[in-house]
Amino acid sequence: MSDVTAPAGGSRLMATYPPQPVTFVRGEGCRLWDDTGREYLDFLSGLAVCSLGHSHPAVADAVSAQARTLLHVSNLFGTLPQREVAATLDRLIGAGPGKVFFCNSGAEANEAAIKLARRWGGRGRHVVVSAYGSFHGRTLATLHATGQPAKHEVFQPLPEGFRHVAWRDLDALAAAIDPSVAAVLLETVQGEGGVNPAGADYLRGVRALCDERAVLLIVDEVQTGLGRTGEWFGFQHYGVRPDVVTIAKALGNGVPIGACWARDDVADAFKPGDHATTFGGQPLATAAAAAVLSVMEAEDVPSRAARAGERLRREASALPGVRGVRGLGLLLAVELEEGKDAGRVAAHALSLGLVVNAVTPTALRLAPPLLVSDAEIDEAASLLARAIAAEGDR
Ligand SMILES: *Cc1c(COP(=O)(O)O)cnc(C)c1O
């Protein structure tokens, strides 16, 4: 193993990540290989990004064909794949008709949503209310929307106009919405916060409250979107129609792309010149996204994620040392029994050839590719059992 005290990946990278224990050089489906040729089963998918698995041939073909056709001309001119992707997203979201703004990441998708909410609200009505335990990105505005005060401190002062309330507390939300509020911004399952679903009662209550106070409901589906939870979008579990939806991670299966969708009457608040990006929506990224969505529809990934998620949940729940499993579809957290450290279990798992991460100090996140097979789930469960047992031996 390489020297873990050396800065991540080499001495000239900023140390924004903890030391990286392995270096991956190749991936195929649910498998990864490191620079020593060792094979791993990937149950993290690059943080819920590679939902179709690594090196998916349809995505690889689309990217290489587009690279030989047209990479980029700027948004001053029309290009093709972005129109198709926008139309497909609008159809899959099913709360429209609406329109899409393309960008390059989840944080940028949320930035676009926040700016859109401010433009829609008008002067004096600009506050965005989000929940404690949330994660919405690392830019200054999305960092402030992220309800984790410990992450804010060293970057103060943060942009004005953000307010936080307790997660799944409707009374707290009702108290926080005054006439300065333009929007409520929530994940449908808090991902980075520990894989905590909003639940139908809460999200329906939030929708009713937003209607009553005439504020926008923005759902951050950056991690939950595109089949991960067993529906195309997390909000579809709860029968709620959001006004704005942000998407990123899985949309390019590893090619960077983000999207902010809004219902027509909200989207129309943006006028030419209000918001822009050099790369957003460019042909390479949207060609990848078009291929991703087409494979996802052909494979019916939401149903596959729901079925595979049931199997994974059942097997993980039965393992010694596991207190419970929570989440939706193939976005699961395995809560360990008292005294077991999730970080150490994740490290044991990696040394056994299974990639997972510690989403809290006591819980592991499982987010395999949505095309994962039953045999791969069984294999991961047995590796996980060994990793948990190894932690117990300490
Ligand atoms: C990952 C994530 C983001 C940020 O996305 P980036 O592409 O890292 O900027 C925002 N919201 C949620 C819910 C996420 O999981």
Is-catalytic flag, 35? no
Tokens matching residue 249? 């991670």
Query: What ranges do the domains of the chain cover?
Result: 24-56+300-392, 70-299
- Which amino acid type is present at position 301? V
Is-catalytic flag, 135? yes
Beta-carbon contacts of 11 under 8 Å, excluding residues fewer than 6 positions away, are none
User: Quick one: pLDDT at residue 222?
Assistant: 98
Which band of pLDDT confidence, cut at 50, 70 and 90, is reported for residue 393? low
Q: What is the mean pLDDT of residues 172-180?
A: 98
Pocket test for ligand 1, best of 222, 244, 359 (most atoms within 8 A of CB): 222
Q: Which of 102, 249, 270, 340 is catalytic?
A: 249
Going by alpha carbons, the residue nearest to atom 11 of ligand 1 is 136
Quick: pLDDT tens for 86-136: 999 999 999 999 999 999 999 999 999 999 999 999 999 999 999 999 999
Cα(315)–Cα(332) distance, integer angstroms: 12
- Confirm if 139 and 130 have CB atoms less than 8 A apart: no
How far is the centre of ligand 1, averaged over its atoms, from the C-alpha of 375 (Å)?
30
How far is the centre of ligand 1, averaged over its atoms, from the C-alpha of 318 (Å)?
31
Q: Which of 43, 101, 102, 135 is catalytic?
A: 135
User: Quick one: pLDDT at residue 2?
Assistant: 46
How far is the centre of ligand 1, averaged over its atoms, from the C-alpha of 320 (Å)?
32
Tokens matching residue 72? 């980029």
User: Quick one: pLDDT at residue 389?
Assistant: 96
How far is the centre of ligand 1, averaged over its atoms, from the C-alpha of 223 (Å)?
7
Q: Tokens 């080499």, residue?
A: 10
Pocket test for ligand 1, best of 192, 255, 260 (most atoms within 8 A of CB): 192
Q: What angle do CA 81, 87, 91 make, to 5 degrees?
A: 145
Q: Tokens 């929307």, residue?
A: 145
User: Quick one: pLDDT at residue 114?
Assistant: 98
Q: Which one is the CATH code of 24-56+300-392: 2.102.10.10, 3.90.1150.10, 3.40.50.720, 1.10.10.60? A: 3.90.1150.10
Cα(201)–Cα(199) distance, integer angstroms: 6
Ligand 1 nearest-atom number relative to CA 192: 15
How far is the centre of ligand 1, averaged over its atoms, from the C-alpha of 171 (Å)?
27
How far is the centre of ligand 1, averaged over its atoms, from the C-alpha of 389 (Å)?
32
Beta-carbon contacts of 8 under 8 Å, excluding residues fewer than 6 positions away, are 15, 16, 17, 18, 19, 20
Cα(51)–Cα(371) distance, integer angstroms: 7
Please give the share of the chain, as a percent, with pLDDT higher than 70: 97
Which band of pLDDT confidence, cut at 50, 70 and 90, is reported for residue 11? confident
Pocket test for ligand 1, best of 47, 136, 277, 331 (most atoms within 8 A of CB): 136
- Confirm if 53 and 28 have CB atoms less than 8 A apart: yes
Ligand 1 cavity residues, CB under 6 Å: 105-107, 110, 135-137, 187, 191-192, 220, 222-223, 248-249
Spelled out in words, what is the top-level CATH class assigned to the domain 70-299?
A: alpha beta
Beta-carbon contacts of 197 under 8 Å, excluding residues fewer than 6 positions away, are 188, 189, 190, 234, 237, 326, 327, 328
Cα(39)–Cα(31) distance, integer angstroms: 7
Indicate the pTM of the whole model: 0.96
User: Quick one: pLDDT at residue 3?
Assistant: 47
Name the H helices within the chain: 45-48, 57-67, 81-93, 106-121, 140-145, 149-152, 170-176, 200-213, 264-267, 283-299, 301-317, 342-352, 374-392
Ligand 1 nearest-atom number relative to CA 256: 7
Going by alpha carbons, the residue nearest to atom 10 of ligand 1 is 136
How far is the centre of ligand 1, averaged over its atoms, from the C-alpha of 110 (Å)?
8
Q: Is the pLDDT of residue 333 over 70?
A: yes
Cα(266)–Cα(274) distance, integer angstroms: 14
Is-catalytic flag, 77? no
b/e code 137-168 from CB counts within 10 Å (16+ = b): bebebbbbbbbeeeebeeeeeeeebbbbbebb
Give 243's DSSP letter.
S
Pocket test for ligand 1, best of 249, 255, 331, 365 (most atoms within 8 A of CB): 249
Q: What is the DSSP string of 318-331?
A: TSTTEEEEEEETTE
Q: What is the mean pLDDT of residues 26-55?
A: 98
Q: Which of 42, 101, 102, 220 is catalytic?
A: 220
The helix (H) or strand (E) run that includes residue 186 is strand 181-187
- Confirm if 248 and 98 have CB atoms less than 8 A apart: no
